Structure 1
Amino acid sequence: MLLILALLLTGAIVPAQDDPVFRAGVALVHVDAEVTGQDGRILTGFTKDDFRVFDEGKEQAIVNFAAEEQPLDLILLFDVSGSMRAVVERVAASARQAFRELRPGDRVSVMVFNSRSRVVAPFTEDLDAVDRTIREDVLEGGFGGGTLIQQAVDDAALRFLHEKRSQRRRAVLIVTDNMGQRTRREETVVRDFWEADALLSGLIVPNTAYQTMRTVGIILGPQNLLMQAGMKGIAQKTGGDAIRADAPETAFQDAIHRIRSRYGLYYELPKAKPGTTRTIHAELSPEAARRFPKSRVRARTGYVVPAS
């Protein structure tokens, strides 16, 4: 992903043949990484030796490696402002097919937002129930109101932050036109995602009315300007991305596939003051980079040191 989603786990990982095994006593940083080729498609088949991870510029020893084994908690966050009904209808029609990308043990929750956010369905492994929630509760719940995107994604991060820390991976997938008033500082939202050990991915549906709204905003003043909400920058810093979705039904399935197709890299947490932020960088090893020229590793750009 960048994707680093740095998931901080209390417990050391013992290398194993299958799933990673955690041993209490050592704090670890979990780096969730995605590798894409020059064309943007997912690349697979990597091993631990194909990656390098740096914390504050210093290379770290990867103590274990996992590929897709950890269960996932996924929040689906739907923009239900007035212009989004047709888009959500197309996503709803494709949801059942898209959920085939998930694995047994994965859980999904549904949230919606316009001028405020709300939880429509709690986390559940019942994907048929999630499908019904999208088709019935979301679509029949009404569309309209403002679009406070940054506040909504921050609310999703805070849901994770307030839950008990676990070894489950965490991700938020937002479907929006990325048009709204900026109500939260980007740095605040990113820090909350880092502290929650969560990833943000976005499907940005083109809004042909943008130029008209931009002109109105210029005439009426900055406080009325409906602007791009800066989702891409936030997503990339958490290890995800925000992509243009001209065909939201197929893009929805592809986004879930990408979230599920990641590598888990683990290294020991360096000594640092709790509450401080540290930078992370993940890349392919020189040999792997030669095999896959112009490839890219997505991973989060930092994390918050947890309290001991």
Structure 2
Amino acid sequence: MGPKTESFSVRKRILVNSTRIHMIGDIDMKSRTLCLMLLLASSFSATTLAQNKTPTKNEEDEVVRVETELVEVPVVVTDKTGKPVLNLKQNNFSIFEDGKNQEVTEFAATSAPFEVALLLDTSGSTRSDLVMIQKAAQSFIDSLRPGDRVSIIAFKTSDDGQRKVAAADLVSELTDNRNSLRSALERVSTSNGTPYYDGLMQVVEKVFAAKPKEEFRGRRALVALTDGVDSTSVSGFDEAREGLEGAGIAAYFIQVDTRPFFEEGLLGPCDGGALTRFSAAQIRRYFRSFGSRSGVEQTTNFCELGDFERLAISKKLYEIADFEMNAIAKRSGGKVFPAGDLNDARTAFKSVAAEIGTRYSLGYYSSNGKRDGGFRKIRVELRGLPVGAQVRAREGYNAPVN
């Protein structure tokens, strides 16, 4: 019996120990299950709180600014007599995009510095007046304020190894060093053609390729002395216009009337009479724009055109130039200043410098986050100003595309 009792006791201890092991295992399993349930509950609670949480103003702004880009809007405000209205504040302006009110987040007063790309047309009919162009440009630079930065682009004749071609030349990078700009003007030369559109593209792709520093946001301008009649560009008008609009550059044109001089040189036979000629690109542009409606037999050979046909083409080319300059200026919030000759151009330069010195700069982040490339119309309204005050601003922009 003793051995059996001992055996029973041993089995009992084993069973007891085994039961204890199972109990401990059950407790561990229950603990783990409980912990897991608590974790899931806390996770669900945190997620629910995050979903129900109302974003703060800063968080909303941060999300919008990640998805959109700053839209810069240069603005000129004048009273009923046309004089600039100064000393306005940010709360004097409201901006609407496609009819929806936008929050003005950036504001620069008229005293802030400007960056100016100065484009000088030194081709064709202006070649004999190079000295006058240089003096007029120097007078313009001198009338700008300290801190304003200027870049100079002109035209020159280059040799590509096979023939001489007209090209746009970046004579000076942006600088506020007046002595450096004076030296750059002295290096300006003339050209045997008018690469006007190429000059506009240099403004976009070279002068203003990089994003502006904070003090120059919304304060960039193109000032071009030209008749606007392109003859040799590789670039086209649409490309140049879209580039300028996309960069938010205010465009000013001093439109010199070279037509009488140009047309006088068109007349006469090619063997010694005609002193000026259309380029093949100009003739193609004419026929592309007016086609069969022109009444002129299509040809790209200048010498096959009679005097009447040459004058008809010239008239239309100047009309195209006038339309293009006004279209760019109006959309950008700039302006066209007609100049009968280079003496008038000096007066126009002074007017441009005065207006640049009185421009406000506004900026906002569009509430429309779509990146569809569509055109967005901008409208600026004034608040708290006397009746008769007027505003001229950028009219719109094309949204970015992913």
> Which TM bucket (shorter chain)?
0.7 to 0.9
Inter-partner Cα distance in structure 2 for 1:161 and 1:132: 22
| Bigger relative contact order, structure 1 or 2 (CA pairs below 8 A, ≥6 apart) | 1
How far off its partner does 1:67 sit? 1.0
Further displaced range: 118-127 or 268-277:
268-277
Matched, 1:267 2:267: no
CA deviation string 1:165-214 (max 9, x = no partner): 53323221111122334965544322211222322211011122366589
> What residue in structure 2 maps to residue 15 of structure 1?
none
Q: 1:180 aligns with which of 215, 226, 230?
A: 230
Further displaced range: 166-175 or 179-188:
179-188
CA deviation string 1:255-289 (max 9, x = no partner): 1221232111222232323462442333443653x
> What residue in structure 2 maps to residue 121 of structure 1?
172
Inter-partner Cα distance in structure 1 for 2:73 and 2:150: 22
Q: Alignment partner of 2:153: what SS?
A: strand
Matched, 1:111 2:205: no
Counting matched residue pairs gives 279
Q: By percentage of residues, which structure has more helix? A: 2
TM superposition score normalised by structure 1? 0.75
Inter-partner Cα distance in structure 2 for 1:52 and 1:253: 30
- Structure 1: gaps of 5 or more residues: 1-11, 13-23
Kept after mapping to 2: 8 A contact 1:190/1:238: no
> What residue in structure 2 maps to residue 7 of structure 1?
none
- In structure 2, the CA distance between the partners of 1:89 and 1:132, relative to structure 1 (3 Å rule), is same
How far off its partner does 1:244 sit? 0.4
Q: Alignment partner of 1:179: what SS?
A: coil
Bigger-Rg structure (1/2): 2
CA deviation string 1:212-242 (max 9, x = no partner): 5899877675856451222121122122122
- In structure 2, the CA distance between the partners of 1:68 and 1:211, relative to structure 1 (3 Å rule), is same
- Structure 2: gaps of 5 or more residues: 1-57, 59-64, 157-165, 268-277, 284-293, 303-312
Instruction: State the AA in 2 paired with 1:272.
Output: G
Kept after mapping to 1: 8 A contact 2:70/2:365: yes
- In structure 2, the CA distance between the partners of 1:181 and 1:36, relative to structure 1 (3 Å rule), is farther
Instruction: State the AA in 2 paired with 1:156.
Output: V
> What residue in structure 1 maps to residue 352 of structure 2?
255
- In structure 2, the CA distance between the partners of 1:68 and 1:271, relative to structure 1 (3 Å rule), is same
Inter-partner Cα distance in structure 2 for 1:87 and 1:275: 47
- In structure 2, the CA distance between the partners of 1:131 and 1:67, relative to structure 1 (3 Å rule), is same
CA deviation string 1:63-98 (max 9, x = no partner): 343213443221111101121135543343244443
- In structure 2, the CA distance between the partners of 1:119 and 1:87, relative to structure 1 (3 Å rule), is same
> What residue in structure 1 maps to residue 334 of structure 2?
240
Q: Alignment partner of 1:89: what SS?
A: helix
CA deviation string 1:109-165 (max 9, x = no partner): 11112632111112222112212321x211xx2x24122322321221222453245
Matched, 1:209 2:261: yes
Q: 1:48 aligns with which of 78, 86, 90?
A: 90
Q: Alignment partner of 2:115: what SS?
A: strand
Inter-partner Cα distance in structure 1 for 2:299 and 2:79: 40
Tell me the percent identity: 25
